Structure 1
């Protein structure tokens, strides 16, 4: 073999080594799905690799697949999907070789949709809603949650999710074409314009919400101490697989709660439910219902002042609750969180409407830790037999739990799936 050929071989091997070394030393591309400023307004689905802990990690040199489902990319109006390679923290689009920031690769519309839909146990005048992702071509849509919304009061009464693979919710037979296919198409039927504007402001800006609260109470003799209001999700992102957690960002999935309750027992409860869903193995047998009940009020010198944040609507709910139903064993458990850190000791008995079983439910790990579930400051939590619960909380559809035996036999104290 001639020296010239040997030099060419060594040169090729050296170039290959340099390329591999560059890929090994270059930083990966990290997509922070929970950072609104870090991703496009309409973030595509990343079909490879999968997300974990709220972010997608793409090694340098690895290919990334982006999909807008049935929609189109903003920068490539004729394309619904594209492939790109991670390069120096950005993405080299394989079709045209352009090096683009992720913010340039958004979809024309949101991949996830909050749409009007018929929902079991949600009758007029309440509105049925579904969260769904529109699949490409003729694959239809995948329903990720069903909700029942009270537009008169400006609050969701219940929401429903499942542990099925892909979080696909089974719904009764229906004509998908009968439901509007875009949020724009049913904008005024979900919330009228003023309701949507008010809801977005209340749930996106805690400072503005608390200024409004102080204004409403400025003529009352009431002390809030250090308590403030914040927005909390009814269905937690932890209940969802991969990027489907983003559907919980819709405003109709949110309620206004006291901050110590949101950071306390409501958070503990949702983490325990998420752990239970993972333990069930994503077999589609566990159902989670979550909702609100009643309107909170504060004691003032002039009596009880209801907490209605805008025009006699948008209540700060008195209770935020969760029901977990194991379809295979026909067992269920209801957990209510009292959204009132100011409740007096003399008022606790009338606020707890069932004999609590939280102390003997081992899967409530975080909620039971240090018995904080008994503390009103963090949101007094109590666990009910579901038929007693639905008698007191009509927002939870009793028909969904018809197969659950009454009494102890129907209580989900252990995972039976």
Structure 2
């Protein structure tokens, strides 16, 4: 009896200790829970969007090119988890994670050379730099149409070290008159995008103001900004690489929360299941959505000729080694009439054959326009219509069924 009582007491003490000394959980998908400029966690891997550091364990944080706000002379910092907070090594202070931010973001969106992206389109790269490392890690590239303020295409992969890029210079724009003007224009463009995309209420006011003279009925639909490359495409600590304004697309809320989200979850699952370095994901936009305004149609731009609401949002998944690919095209038009669907779908859809489309195919929701109707194309048929997809990137894929990526890696 005494032994049982002792065991119960020990178990109670362990439970009590675990309640008194909680782990430090860094929720990377919660913007309010982490610093504005979240440091990289170089000692622990993220799982399901968060990093868990047990009480008493040490975590290593890094600011890369930036420095810590609380410790301006340091690029990296060791801290021990103590009761949900962090005991920082430099001075022994017990700090909340929100106090351990960097002076600037460890991710940067910069002008950059991008394959298959020729002027007047503008190449960009999203990259990060580990402390003491000379070469940056490229997480994604974009080909951006600065005249229309929309990405032609973006690219990510599932290589642990980031995208493998052709040899290129890492130098930024030269300090010349042309280079300085380009940087100034780039900063203005991003500021405009940030103002438009940061607040759904602001987007709704602008949209209703634009459409007021035509008395266009939107029912319960409203616009939001969605990422072309979803946070789930990156490992947990790099999810913020998906949040830059250059990679955002205007979508209807029902579409963004519906089939765009389902499509991106399926692609993310395929990326995780595939062997490292096997897959490239391209995503982009095509066309400009026109809304019926009386007897005519009104192309939808949030500024004159700029910031279009795309008619299509597309994703191409490409396995170069297996010479297989599949194009998934989402119709960003919840108002499309049944009689118009046939002319909007420009290939015979193969979504029903793609075994890896689990979320998208559930209950056949991919056929519902209010959630963003989706159809799946052989990539050469797709690229014949969608000029934004660089056809040279798909040159190794056979035409027809032989080149269709429909099987899962699991």
Q: TM above 0.5, one fold?
A: yes
Task: Quote the Cα distance in structure 2 between the aligned partners of 1:131 and 1:301.
Answer: 43
Q: Deviations over 1:58-117 (max 9, x none)?
A: 222221111112332222122111111112322111221111222221112211111111
RMSD: 2.2
For 2:184 and 2:401, locate their aligned partners in 1 and report how far apart those are by CA, in whole Å: 40
**CA–CA distance in 1 between the matches of 2:362 and 2:309?**
27
Greater Cα offset, 25-34 or 315-324: 25-34
Task: Tell me which residue corresponds to 1:249.
Answer: 243
Helix, strand or coil for the counterpart of 1:195? helix
Taking the aligned partners of 1:177 and 1:20, their CA distance within structure 2 comes to 55
1:106-121 equivalences in 2 (<5 Å) = 106-121=101-116
Task: Flag structure 2 segments of 5+ consecutive residues without an equivalent.
Answer: 1-12
Alpha-carbon offset, residue 23 of structure 1:
6.5
1:15 corresponds to which residue? Answer: none
Moved more, 268-277 or 53-62: 53-62
Residues 220 and 302 in structure 1, CA contact (< 8 A), matched pair in contact too: no
Q: Distance in 2 between matches of 1:303 and 1:206?
A: 27
Map residues 109-148 of structure 1 onto 2, 5 A cutoff.
Answer: 109-148=104-143
Mapped to 1, the partners of 2:346 and 2:183 lie a distance apart of 35
- Which secondary structure state, in structure 1, belongs to the residue aligned with residue 238 of structure 2? helix
Answer with 1 or 2: which has the greater Rg: 1
Q: Find the counterpart in structure 2 of residue 75 from structure 1.
A: 70
Q: Name the residue aligned to 2:26.
A: 31
Name 2:61's counterpart in structure 1: 66
Aligned to 2:218: 224
Partner of 1:351: 344
- Render the CA deviation track for 1:318-369: whole Å, top value 9, x for unaligned: 0000000011110100010000000011211111111111111111111111
Matches for 1:15-414 after TM superposition, within 5 Å: 22=17, 25-166=20-161, 168-177=162-171, 189=183, 191-281=185-275, 283-414=276-407
For 2:194 and 2:40, the matched residues in 1 are separated by: 24
Distance 2:18 2:377 in 1: 56
**In structure 2, what is the Cα distance between the partners aligned to 1:267 and 1:60?**
35
1-side partners of 2:71 and 2:82: how far apart?
20
| Cα distance change of structure 1 residues 179 and 32 upon mapping to structure 2, 3 Å threshold | farther
- Distance (Å, rounded) in 2 between the aligned partners of 1:338 and 1:130: 27
- Number of residue pairs the alignment of both structures matches: 395
Separation in 2, partners of 1:139, 1:193:
25
The structure-2 alpha-carbon separation of the partners of 1:356 and 1:226, relative to structure 1 and needing over 3 Å to count, comes to same
Q: Secondary structure at the match of 2:52?
A: strand
1:309 Cα deviation after fit: 0.6
The answer to whether the 8 A contact 2:127-2:139 is kept is: yes
Bigger Cα displacement from structure 2, 189-198 vs 54-63: 189-198
Match of 2:87, SS? strand
**1:300 Cα deviation after fit:** 1.2
Cα pair 1:116 1:186 within 8 Å, conserved: no
1:186 is displaced (CA, Å) by 7.6
Post-superposition CA distance 1:264-306 (Å, at most 9, x none): 111111111111111113x101110001111111101141011
Contact 2:270 2:409 in 1 (8 A): no
Kept after mapping to 1: 8 A contact 2:22/2:54: yes
TM-score, scaled to structure 2: 0.91
Unaligned runs of 5+ in 1: 1-17
Task: Give the TM-score of the pair, scaled to structure 1.
Answer: 0.90
CA 1:24–1:41 in structure 2 vs 1: closer, same or farther (change >3 Å)?
same
